[in-house]
Structure 1
């Protein structure tokens, strides 16, 4: 997935808000982390204000299933 495509998908999820959208955003960020690294994820979190919208924080691990461990 390109960062531009991820940005578009995350903007859509952020626009919807809510728990289901947060789960969708987590999946997008997991793919971004896998393909582009955590720095790219942190940049998207900051750019799109995902900390405010979904509570995601820079440095958070979005690798597949990591969010289910809590």
Structure 2
């Protein structure tokens, strides 16, 4: 998955903002981690403010 596609999908989930959407974001970040590493995950967490919205922290290992 490209980072651009991940951005598109994460943006949709953030807009909805529910508990199930948090799980969806975690799955997407797991995919980002596989292809782009922790730096890609951290970039998405920071870019979308996922720490405030879903409690995901920069440097946090994302596993599904």
Structure 1 and Structure 2 fold alike (TM over 0.5): yes
TM-score under structure 1 length normalisation:
0.87
- 2 CA distance for matches of 1:44 and 1:24? 14
Q: Which string of whole-angstrom CA distances, capped at 9 and with x for unpartnered residues, describes residues 10-68 of structure 1? A: 010000001100000000000000100000100110011111110100011113x3xxx
Larger Rg: 1
How much is the aligned-residue C-alpha RMSD, in angstroms?
Answer: 0.7
Q: Which runs of 5+ in 2 are unaligned?
A: none
Provide the C-alpha distance between the structure 1 equivalents of 2:15 and 2:32, rounded to a whole number of angstroms.
Answer: 19
What's the counterpart of residue 33 of structure 1?
Answer: 33
Moved over 3 A (4+): none
Q: Specify the alignment match of 2:20 in structure 1.
A: 20
Residue 57 of structure 2: aligned partner: 57
Larger helix fraction of residues: 2
